[in-house]
Structure 1
Amino acid sequence: MWMSGLLFVLLGMDFSFQTNPSSSENLALRGQAVQSSLYSNWVAARAIDTSPSTCSCTEVYTSNPWWRLDLLDSYYISRVIITNRRDCCPERLDGAEIHIGNSLENNGNNNSRCAVLYGVAAGQSVSVSCDNMKGRYVNVIIPGRNKILTICEVEVYLPDWKKTFVMMTFLSSVNMTDPAVSNMILNRLKTALTSKGLSNFTLTWTKLPQKVKPEIKLDDDDGKYVYTTQQK
């Protein structure tokens, strides 16, 4: 049994979901750096200036020296790359801990730990996986007394998310081919995804909503009506 003439309009929809910025972008370049103390003019920002020949450095022989990067937003972080100084004493970086999170408690050093560094040679870079930890702040701290923290470059990267295409079908009496309505749909989807904890993504139409012919078929097995659609 087929029924037609419903007041509802069914539309199909494709939209793309992709993280923004891209996974190839070094997020550290968007951020702001500070550190626990300062040696000479080796300011914290030198560790994010893309030049491994300039470095940040804390005062000599202090307790628990730290360096912190504020990404200005919370991201899922895939990996962090640290570059050691090239001129001398690379062992000073041994025991340095990388922490990631959204808290500024204890200057951000109480956030979850991603990794501990050992054996990074002079002038070399080490890439550590942080398993998509989420946070706004990336801290590097060396626990203990009489420590010096020197960092020549910090890079932060997102996971390599893939673009996702989703097709959805709506049952509605509203004309979703209207641009104002289609934009409203994207805004509501974004709000719903954000409420579930997702962030840093972009929703775009790959194909605007299309009308399809709605029909209902009676399921002979249980006597229930089942919606079916047919593209115009």
Structure 2
Amino acid sequence: MFAWVPFLFMVIGSACAWNVFVSTSEVAQGQTAGSTSSFFFGSENLNATADLAVDGDPNGDFLSGSCFSSDIGDTNPVWYVDLGANMEIYSVKIFNRGDCCADRLRDITIDVVENNPLSGNPGNVVNCGSIGDPGGVGLNGTIEIVCPFQTFQFTSHYEKYFQIEYPQGQYIRIMKTGDELLNFCEVEVKAATGIFYKHKSKRNRKGDRNDLVPQGFHEYQPSQDENLQGVPVPLPYSNVNHVDEGVTDTDESAETSTDDQ
């Protein structure tokens, strides 16, 4: 669905954070989902199955039939969605219930997983973030967990470049610790699909101006895409090994935000 996208930007002798603008696309809606269990509400003939959390309907009323819940007695319940292809994951947004039980959205970890989480061989697992206790997400509230990215640096033709990579995987796993119900009404997953950043230029030794937008990438235009996300990237000068035409692992950063409606 999406090819791997390298994220590159150029550093020009500044120790401050630069805003990189990442384009995103929602990729979970309508995809195959699964769980360790689902709750069946017999009096309403309602089965709160995993697919209801990616049906595109964030209605927080459980009886509306659009919320997922694990079953009673399921210890350390797991929900997952199969995105259909390996992707770089920018964020995971979870919609809480609106009728009751808001405090159930706690003690949760969100992971980007290579293989089916319930297959017995999940492969590479990268943590995107977590929701603690208390979770702090109110009725009809949402929380968006922005995954941490890794920062790499290499040098080419005496210029320093940085590359950022988001966690890659085909599956998103949401797992709860304990025997309390895992319960939410919608999950949105944003994949990172491109990079945009402000045009920069400088004069070379001969006095000519060099274009510092790397070939194949796009210049940032404020009105071009409402889904662009500004990402502040710290420059890790103190713990970087400078190499020519190579890539060196440096550090990582994360951003988490809560939006209670």
Under a length normalisation based on structure 1, what TM-score does the superposition of the two structures give? 0.57
Match of 1:62 among 57, 64, 74: 74
Distance of 1:47 and 1:64 partners within structure 2: 18
* Aligned partner letter, 1:72: G
Is 1:43 paired with 2:49?
A: yes
Unmatched tracts of structure 2, length 5 or more: 6-21, 41-46, 60-65, 149-165, 197-213, 218-261
Other-structure match for 1:100: 112
Q: Which runs of 5+ in 1 are unaligned?
A: 1-16, 168-232
Larger Rg computed on CA atoms: 1
- 1:135 paired with 2:169, answer yes
Partner Cα separation in structure 2 for residue 18 and residue 34 of structure 1: 25
The Cα RMSD (Å) is 2.7
Distance change >3 Å, CA 106–CA 24, structure 1 → 2: closer
3-state SS, counterpart of residue 195 of structure 2: coil
1:149 correspondence with 2:155: no
Q: Distance in 2 between matches of 1:112 and 1:18?
A: 16
Per-residue deviation, residues 81-132 of structure 1 (Å, max 9, x unmatched):
0111111111111111101120335554982221111211111111111132
Aligned length: 148
Identity percentage of aligned residues: 27
The CA distance in 2 between the partners of 1:110 and 1:166, in whole Å, is 29
Query: With structure 2 as the length reference, what TM-score do the two structures score?
Result: 0.51
**Deviation of residue 161 (structure 1)?**
1.6
Give the structure with the larger helix fraction.
1
Is 1:123–2:140 an aligned residue pair? Answer: yes
Task: Give, in whole Å, the separation in 1 of the partners of 2:142 and 2:75.
Answer: 25
Task: Output the amino acid matched with 2:180.
Answer: K
For 2:39 and 2:4, the matched residues in 1 are separated by 42
In the alignment, the residues of structure 1 paired with residue 188 and residue 177 of structure 2 have an alpha-carbon distance, to the nearest angstrom, of 22
Preserved CA contact (<8 Å) 2:81 2:171: yes
C-alpha separation in 2, matches of 1:52 and 1:138:
18
Rounded to whole Å, the distance in 1 between the matches of 2:194 and 2:70 is 36
Q: Secondary structure at the match of 1:147?
A: coil
SS at match of 1:162: strand
